[in-house]
């Protein structure tokens, strides 16, 4: 399937991918939309990342998604790349799969057997592999609206602006005074799939958002990831980055809105 082509075409140029046929989805206008319906935001799979970046609906309801999109590649990349294409490609270093995890989103797939909804935690299977079957296409992405009193942050380390993340961490925190009533964290760039950092979430929900709790959560996040080793960095370097970026993201998010 060809959506924005920002991943498929380079892979074809390098002979990494050699599809026998390509189905171009760019002439399916019904897959390009952003709709806010009460407590859900629905985004068509062919919606360009640039449109999400400048959408007033996204800014008001999903500000973390807006911030994550800004880190995707460069202007030409975001102008052609689609949200559905990024999620279906499932690059472990891409920001949008991480955002789907931390925001507890879901995708809608359609095939000959009809439609089905796939939760974020069930969608990413392994490196560049998702729960989509060979007969399905991703048609829609759904996000619950972020709480109005939520603090949020995205922290990323890459070699150059626009490069894929060597490590990134995103968080959403809902506070009531000194208590953390809801914590969501996710990372990308460390392993074969974007990962919800549930152990770190548990620390914050049990112990609050003080300096000691944040430090403990950052350590839990570093232990929770299964980092890979490649030309961009060692496994231990990625584990260190997870610890540091988690701490930074939590400090920023905890300084945000308080009910």
Cα gap 180→152, rounded to integer Å? 13
Secondary structure (DSSP) of 105-147: -EEEEEETTEEEEEEHHHHEEETTEES--TT-EEEEEEEEPPP
Q: Phi/psi of residue 65, each to 5°?
A: -60, -40
pLDDT tier, 200 (very low <50, low <70, confident <90, very high otherwise): very high
> Please, what are the domains in the chain?
30-144 (3.30.465.10), 150-254 (3.30.390.50)
Cα gap 95→230, rounded to integer Å? 19
Statement: residue 247 has pLDDT above 70 = yes
3-class DSSP state of 242: helix
Span between the terminal Cα atoms of the chain, in Å: 45
Q: Tens digit of pLDDT for each residue in 81-105? A: 999 999 999 999 999 999 999 999 9
Statement: residue 258 has pLDDT above 50 = no
Q: Tens digit of pLDDT for each residue in 102-152? A: 999 999 999 999 999 999 999 999 999 999 999 999 999 999 999 999 999
Instruction: Give the chain's mean pLDDT.
Output: 93
Q: Tens digit of pLDDT for each residue in 216-227? A: 999 999 999 999
Q: How much is the pTM?
A: 0.92
Mean local confidence (pLDDT), 183-211: 97
Q: Tens digit of pLDDT for each residue in 24-39? A: 777 777 999 999 999 9
Q: Tens digit of pLDDT for each residue in 173-193? A: 999 888 999 999 999 999 999
Nearest to 244 by CA among 221, 211, 228: 221
Cα gap 189→228, rounded to integer Å? 9
Statement: residue 9 has pLDDT above 90 = no
- Output the pLDDT for position 99: 98
pLDDT tier, 162 (very low <50, low <70, confident <90, very high otherwise): confident
- Output the pLDDT for position 257: 60
């Amino acid at each position: 399937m060809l959506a924005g082509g920002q991943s498929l075409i380079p892979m074809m140029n390098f002979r990494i991918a050699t599809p026998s046929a390509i189905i171009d989805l760019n002439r399916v206008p019904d897959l390009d939309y952003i709709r806010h319906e009460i407590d859900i935001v629905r985004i068509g799979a062919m919606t360009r990342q640039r449109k999400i970046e400048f959408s007033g609906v996204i800014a008001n309801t999903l500000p973390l998604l807006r911030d994550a999109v800004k880190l995707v590649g460069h202007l030409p990349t975001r102008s052609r790349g689609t949200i559905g294409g990024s999620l279906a490609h499932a690059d472990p270093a891409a920001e949008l799969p991480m955002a789907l995890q931390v925001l507890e989103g879901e995708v809608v797939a359609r095939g000959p057997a009809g439609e089905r909804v796939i939760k974020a935690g069930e969608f990413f299977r392994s490196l560049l592999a998702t729960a989509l079957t060979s007969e399905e296409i991703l048609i829609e992405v759904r996000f619950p609206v972020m709480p109005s009193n939520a603090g949020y942050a995205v922290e990323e380390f890459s070699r150059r602006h626009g490069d894929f993340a060597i490590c990134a961490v995103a968080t959403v925190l809902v506070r009531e005074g000194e208590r953390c009533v809801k914590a969501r964290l996710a990372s990308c760039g460390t392993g074969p799939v974007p990962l919800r950092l549930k152990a770190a979430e548990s620390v914050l929900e049990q112990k609050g958002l003080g300096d000691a709790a944040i430090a403990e959560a950052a350590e839990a996040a570093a232990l929770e990831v299964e980092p890979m080793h490649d030309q961009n960095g060692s496994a231990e370097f990625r584990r260190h980055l997870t610890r540091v970026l988690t701490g930074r993201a939590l400090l920023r998010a905890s300084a945000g809105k308080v009910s």
